[in-house]
Amino acid sequence: MPLLSVRGLEQRFGGLVALAGIDFDLEPAQALGLVGPNGSGKTTCINAICGLNRPTKGTVTLDGTPITGARPHQLARAGIGRTFQIPRPFRGMTVRDNLLVATSTRHPRGDVDPDELLERLGLARFGASEAGTLNATQQKLLDLARALMLRPRVLFIDELGAGLSPAELHSIAGLLNEIAAEGTSLVVVEHLLGFLEQVTPTVVVLNAGSSIFVGPLRDALRDPEVERVFLGT
């Protein structure tokens, strides 16, 4: 049985059909890329699975248990975590306290040591700094650390790569590989395919709110429909 299973996920906003049918499975410790042109529904898909919006139709199951339409805090406890395209840390709070707030309610998979996590993400020297003083890359890492504090079973990562240097991308790809190898499944929304390739060989391609391809990235790039979507040919 897959760890996460998404079937026929649909999201309407009034008359606008933002998701018209998303289907994919995610195995334990698997990383999956979620790609597609701007407006194809990637963030809406994350929001629908992570409880920010209640999907209009379709099902999401975690370990066979339906979690469709559950609230974000329930999903966090169940093991669904996420990062945001634009992180919003508590800017006036220290970096370390930002992590502690993430676990203010005890969760079933045990506590994570914030200092170890900060060390791992290269943020240890900023532990006592106000989060608002971090640069954009460091704020993304803090957002990732906050998500990891909850020991997610599935972690959705929304556009982590944008604006990072090649060296930063390489080091974060290594970190994401480690996180997956430790058993956390990843869904990585990413425009930078070179970066994505370092994290996973497998992608779900979205177009106009539908998943049109699930499989190896290399095959996706040779698929005529995917090519049409990306190149507009």
Q: Does 33 bind ligand ADP (CB under 6 A)?
A: no
Among the listed residues 9, 33, 36, 146, the single contact to ligand ADP using CB under 6 A: 36
Question: Interior CA angle at 169 toward 216 and 191, to 5°?
Answer: 50
16 forms part of the interface with ligand ADP (CB under 6 A): yes
Map the footprint of ligand ADP across residues 42-61, applying CB under 6 A: 42-44
Size of the site for ligand ADP (CB under 6 A): 11
Q: Is 13 in the site for ligand ADP (CB under 6 A)?
A: yes
Interface with ligand ADP includes 83 (CB under 6 A)?
no
Q: Which of 55, 88, 74 is nearest to 209 (CA)?
A: 55
Residues 6+ apart with CB under 8 A from 82: 46, 50, 147, 155, 156, 157, 158
Q: Give residue for tokens 């209009």.
A: 56
What values do phi and psi take at 182, rounded to 5? -80, -5
The residues in 123-142 that bind ligand ADP, with binding defined as CB under 6 A, are none
Question: Residue 8, interface with ligand ADP (CB under 6 A)?
Answer: no
The helix/strand/coil state of 154 is strand
Binding site for ligand ADP (CB under 6 A): 13, 16, 18, 36, 38-44
